[in-house]
Amino acid sequence: MTKLRILSILFLPLAAAHADTFGSGANTFTMDFVTIGNPGNAADTNPAGYGSVGYTYRMGIHEVSNSMLSAFNALRINPQSDPQLPTGDVSTPLFSGANKPSYLLTWNAAARFVNWLNTSKGYSAAYNITTTGLGSLNDNITLWTNLDAGYDAANPFRNSNAHYFLPSENEWYKAAYYDPNKSGGAGYWDYATGSNTAPTAVAGGIASGTAVYNLQANPADVTNAGGLSPYGTMAQNGNQWEWCETGFTAPNNEANEGRVIRGGNYNSVPVLLPPSNRYSAGPSLFETNGFRVASVPEPSALLLTLIGTLGVVTRRRR
C-alpha cells in the first residue's frame, strides 16, 4: 500500500452517529449511538477522578423510551412467566407517550432490558441474571466469576463479551462533560451542553445550550430534550435522572450495592446539573430514573483507532 493511501486512511473521519435496529415486526425500533473516542483522556480535576476512559466506545444519543420498553414486553421470550417492564404510559400521566423517557424503572429492570438487546442479536448477556418468573423483575444480579466466559476481575458486574451495557460512571461522565476540542485544550465543562454556563431551561426542543429542567411540568420526548453535549448526546443534563452501571462506592463487588445516578431531571434545580453531583439508589428500588445504553464501538471505529496507533508507532521507529 502506498504512503499516500495509508495517510488517507489515517485521517478518515469517524461516523458521527449510527443507528442499531432491534425487535421485529410492529415492535421494531432503532437506537442511535455516537462514538466516544479520544481514549486515554485525563480524568476531571474538579471534581477529581471522574471521566477517564481508556478505550473507544459508543453512547446512546437519547434516553431509552417507553416504546422501546414496550417492544421488550411484547417480544420477551416467555411472556407468561418473565417479568414485564413498567412503562410510563401506564404508571403516571406525566410520563405518558411512547417517546417519553422510561420512568419508575429499577436498575435491575434496566439490566434485563440491556441483556435482551444483547441476546436478541446473538451476543452475550451483559449481566448475570439467574432468576425468571413474574415476581423476579427486581431480583439482584449475580456477579460473574472467573468460571464464566467474559469474566472481568476489574468489573464483575459486566460481562466483557457483551455488546450493549449500562454506561459506567466514567463512560457516562465523559460523554456528558468532556470536550476533546475545547478552546485552550481538551477538558471538561460544567454542564452537558458544552458550557460553563447553566443551560437555558425549556420544556422541549433541540436548541443549543438548552435543557429540560428547572421545574418543567414533565419530561420531553427523548428526541426533543434539549441541546447536545460536545460528543452529540442529548439530555445528559435534565429530562430524566439516569442509572449508571457503577456502584456508588466502587469497585463493583456487591450485587445489592447502590448504583450511581446522574444528570438531573425535568424538575431539577440548576445546582443539580454540574458534574459534582452524584447520587445513589439500591438496584431494586423504584426510583424516578431512566437510563441510556452504551455499546462497544463499530468495527470501523476500532480499525481506524488501530491504524492510527500503528501509524504513531511507525513514525516513532523512524
Kindly list the domain boundaries of the chain, sorted by start residue. Answer: 56-317
In terms of Cα–Cα distance, which of 23, 109, 33 is closest to 71? 23
Cell of 298: 463499530
Alpha carbon distance 200, 193 (integer Å): 10
φ/ψ of residue 10, rounded to 5: -60, -30
What is the reported pLDDT for 82? 84
Cell of 307: 491504524
What is the reported pLDDT for 225? 98
Q: Which residues of the chain have pLDDT under 50?
A: 1-15, 306, 308-318
Give whole-number Cα distances, 300 to 14, 41, 42, 297, in Å.
8, 21, 25, 8
What is the reported pLDDT for 267? 95
pLDDT tens digit sequence for 80-128: 778 899 887 656 667 788 999 998 899 999 999 999 999 999 999 999 9
What is the reported pLDDT for 301? 58
Alpha carbon distance 156, 140 (integer Å): 13
User: Is residue 242 classed exposed, middle or buried when 0-12, 13-18 and 19+ CB atoms within 10 A define those classes?
Assistant: buried
What is the reported pLDDT for 160? 98
The architecture in CATH of the region 56-317 reads: Alpha-Beta Complex (3.90)
Cα 212 from chain centroid (whole Å): 18
